[in-house]
Chains A and B, each alone.
Chain A
């Protein structure tokens, strides 16, 4: 368990039980993209500022660019790929469409995961609560108003789902 390059980790990834055996100090972002081909997890800044790499760990929002595999031992990891087949994703994605909250789309997986994390915590957030919760997710295209609107639409359309 404590040798230099091999570390054994059990975790749930998008519903599958995974046994990772490898370097415990690789960046989780790279592990997810390279080993498990989850390329919806994006690298923007690589230093915790932009949220493009956002994932949920046990239902809470995390930046995978700042994490290492040992931190998800015995935890549940959800990426956009695992979230895509849910009813809640459908509501959020419709809301993003309706609000025009997607332009180039690079920030979108992170924005969607942040929306899910927010609505789990607070199913009916106010505008300011949305802005503050999403402050770790940057978008270079939309100007944020559409994204905030998308979260409000999702919150209303998905009433009772969160």
Chain B
């Protein structure tokens, strides 16, 4: 049985509830409902369920010269329809679920669910996304990279909610999001690789490489990035053992029902190589 349900009238109302009671937040519910529901269709929530998706203060996208801010309860399909959201981010979001899942599911839900296979996460990590968390005491900013610390675990406090996600407007010459799933549409990632970078005088510049479902949390491999910057693609490919080494020590894929560790690592390496090779013709 549902203990209770609270339908907040405003963001402030929601924040006050969070500060006073034990609350289970729900946005689109596409993760939460699937986790909670019994085969009979009954749902047992162990705390007061509080929906967020109807609150205007948590929806929409705002943009200025240098950044784009996506409010947490904006649906994935709304984000895909917005002209200011960068294409590399859109490509990752387009890979999530199906049309109907993207109508219901939100970006805040994908982040707070903190799944190793959350498909927006590698791209958002590559963009150095900053999260704004809010409670009755005010707002605080946290880097996405510091926010998720274990599968399903984030640094959000029980009295806080995720208000918004801010990403810089990066300039780039190459980007790629490769998601490997059981089938093309509507499948959870076995693994994913996100890469983005610039080319300056024929050399790789400001490259970012991040990986999903290749360890307990989505991860960026900054030492490999540093090694690649200011080198030509062929120089990087000639020293591929260094990259391989770095990825092999930092990626911690597991065997599970979707795939096994060895396959995941091998494909991640190949996809990374393919991405670097795309910098050759410039």
Contacts and interface: CB of A to CB of B under 8 A. Distances in A.
Interface string B35-70: 001010101010001010110000000000000000
Contacts of A70: 5, 7, 51
Contacts of B104: 62-63, 66-67
A46 B51 CA distance: 21
Contacts of A118: 99
Given A27-B37, A27-B43, A70-B7, A62 B51 contact: no
Nearest to A54: B100
Contacts, number: 93
B100 A63 contact: yes
A48 to B, nearest CB: 6
Contact of A1 (B7, B43, B45, B101): B7
B270 interface: no
Interface in A34-75: 43, 46-49, 51, 54, 57, 60-63, 65-68, 70-71, 73
A117 B222 CA distance: 43
A136 B98 contact: yes
A43 B38 CA distance: 13
A133 B101 CA distance: 11
A61 B77 CA distance: 11
Interface stretch (B26-34, B121-129, B247-255): B26-34
A118 B77 CA distance: 13
Interface string A70-100: 1101000000000000000000000000000
B30 A66 contact: yes
Contact of B103 (A4, A30, A61, A65): A61
Contact of B5 (A2, A49, A133, A135): A2
Contacts of B2: 4, 23, 25
Interface residues of A, number: 39
A24 interface: yes
A151 interface: no
A106 interface: no
B185 interface: yes
Interface string B2-34: 111111000000000000000000001110011
Nearest to B4: A4
Given A30-B41, A132-B185, A62 B100 contact: yes
B242 to A, nearest CB: 38
Given A2-B5, A133-B99, A136-B185, A46 B30 contact: no
24 contacts: A4-B4, A24-B5, A24-B7, A25-B2, A25-B49, A26-B41, A43-B41, A46-B37, A47-B34, A51-B98, A54-B100, A60-B103, A61-B103, A62-B100, A62-B104, A63-B101, A65-B41, A66-B28, A117-B99, A132-B184, A135-B185, A136-B98, A136-B99, A137-B98
Interface of A: 1-2, 4, 7, 23-27, 29-30, 43, 46-49, 51, 54, 57, 60-63, 65-68, 70-71, 73, 114, 117-118, 131-133, 135-137
Interface of B: 2-7, 28-30, 33-34, 37, 39, 41, 43, 45, 49, 51, 53-54, 77, 97-101, 103-104, 183-186
Given A46-B41, A66-B30, A71-B54, 16 more contacts: A4-B3, A4-B5, A27-B37, A51-B100, A57-B103, A60-B77, A60-B103, A62-B104, A63-B101, A66-B29, A71-B51, A71-B53, A73-B54, A133-B99, A135-B99, A136-B101
